[in-house]
Amino acid sequence: MNLMHILTLNKINIKIRQLHKNAAVLKNICFSLEKGEILAIVGESGSGKSTLCKSILGLLPENFQTDGEMSFSTKAGASIRITEFDQRSLINLRGNEIGFVFQDTISCLNPILRCGNQLVDLIGANSAIEKNNEKDRVYELLHQVGLNDTNRILSSYPHQLSGGMVQRFALALALAKEPGILIADEPAASLDPISKNQYLKLLKQIKGDRGLSIILITHNVNDALSFAESIIVVYGGRIVEQGKTEALKTAPAHPYTKGLLDIASSMNNNTMPHPIPGDSPSLNRPVSGCPFHPRCFNAQEICKADFPRLTKLSANHSIFCNFPVRKT
């Protein structure tokens, strides 16, 4: 394993066990997260983005079956395999090594505990920090996430804070144990554009300050393009395109990525967008071959039979498509 890679997923397949048959949620997911980068996973709702993240944290319910290999290098530098972990080791992993922020933040916080108690509880669970230092640590964390009105925040209940503040507070919780990786699942989806931009800028800044590696899950292509260094595009449970942001931005090769970027740019330029025709696939009606072929303008017979093989366009840009979009 390359030392630069802090998290590597190899051939991850995730199925839901059902009464009569298994439904495949994710197929053949391979990617690595480099140390100190923001990796965005882009895809529509139901494409399996959140499932992927929960599988890294071992948070999937029992009827989900995960196959494949996940390896991860700890803060201390040891290389471990998450897939061989039992529940107890996973609990140790969560928060300490991998921090996470979920989409619906307000329901992740305890509504009947003041924010201060929730943060102190978490820090106090770490025996390395002395009781006296707890308070300093709390203030430091809050300042880091841009919450300067510390005393008010600490004595408030979660519902008394605004949406943007709750998001920041959840970020402080996720960073309390100084994890090496942060997984952020649609952290800014419900915020208005001003708070959203502030939040994403904050993420980027904290990443720089702490040398954090971040997986940012989002359905907003614009956010991914502006804040991530690498992008993975997921469609129907498959990775269809992955690469550095620059490469994807200038030369999107998969027809789906191209469609998404075209819509994003026409929305920015105030022209009516041309939607991608058709509907996204559902788990109950899996599509054979490439999941995008019913909606693809380039699709041919071969696309219906098998999922295309990996094509490397350059050192840091690869796609799964038989008929990629040519540069114009």
Partner 1 sequence: MSINSDSKPLLKVDNLSVIYHNQALTLIRNQVVKAVKNVSFTVFPGECYAIVGESGGGKTSIAHSILGFIKPSDGTIIFDDCDIWQLSKNKLRQLRPLIQPVFQDYNNALNPLMRIREILSEPLLIKGIRSDANAQLQKSLEIVGLNPEILTRYPNQLSGGQKQRVVLARALIMKPKLLILDEPVSSQDISIGAQIINLLRHLQVTVGLSYLLISHNLSVVRLLADRIAIMQNGVIIEQNTVKQLFENPAKPYTKNLIKASIAPD
Binding interface with partner 1 (CB under 8 A) = 43-46, 162-164, 189-197, 200, 219-223, 226, 259-260, 263-264, 267-268, 270, 272-276, 279-282, 284
CB closer to partner 1, 122 vs 264: 264
Contact 13, 66 (CB under 8 A): yes
Nearest to 66 by CA among 79, 53, 47: 53
Considering the complex, what minimum distance in angstroms separates the CB of residue 278 from partner 1?
A: 9
Other CB atoms within 10 Å distance of the CB of residue 295:
19
Considering the complex, what minimum distance in angstroms separates the CB of residue 308 from partner 1?
A: 20
Cα 170 to Cα 40, 153, 253, distances in angstroms: 19, 12, 36
Contact 169, 145 (CB under 8 A): yes
CB closer to partner 1, 96 vs 195: 195
Considering the complex, what minimum distance in angstroms separates the CB of residue 310 from partner 1?
A: 24
CB closer to partner 1, 163 vs 289: 163
Considering the complex, what minimum distance in angstroms separates the CB of residue 111 from partner 1?
A: 13
Side-chain half-sphere exposure of 250, counting CA atoms within 13 A: 5
Other CB atoms within 10 Å distance of the CB of residue 106:
14
Please give the single-letter amino acid code of residue 110.
N
Considering the complex, what minimum distance in angstroms separates the CB of residue 203 from partner 1?
A: 13
Considering the complex, what minimum distance in angstroms separates the CB of residue 222 from partner 1?
A: 6
Three-state SS at 198: helix
CB closer to partner 1, 58 vs 259: 259
Considering the complex, what minimum distance in angstroms separates the CB of residue 226 from partner 1?
A: 5
CA distance 26 to 52: 8
CB closer to partner 1, 6 vs 221: 221
**Residue with tokens 């923001």, as numbered in its chain:** 38
CB closer to partner 1, 8 vs 257: 257
Considering the complex, what minimum distance in angstroms separates the CB of residue 16 from partner 1?
A: 13
DSSP 8-class letter at 234? E
Both tokens assigned to 188: 């800014």
Which residues sit opposite 42 in a β-bridge? Answer: 218, 233
CB closer to partner 1, 45 vs 127: 45
Orientation of helix 131-144 relative to helix 163-175, angle to 10°: 130
Considering the complex, what minimum distance in angstroms separates the CB of residue 165 from partner 1?
A: 11
DSSP 8-class letter at 19? S
Contact 256, 299 (CB under 8 A): no
Edge-first strand listing for the sheet containing 64-73: 22-34, 5-17, 64-73, 79-81
CB closer to partner 1, 197 vs 298: 197
Contact 170, 105 (CB under 8 A): yes
CB closer to partner 1, 154 vs 191: 191
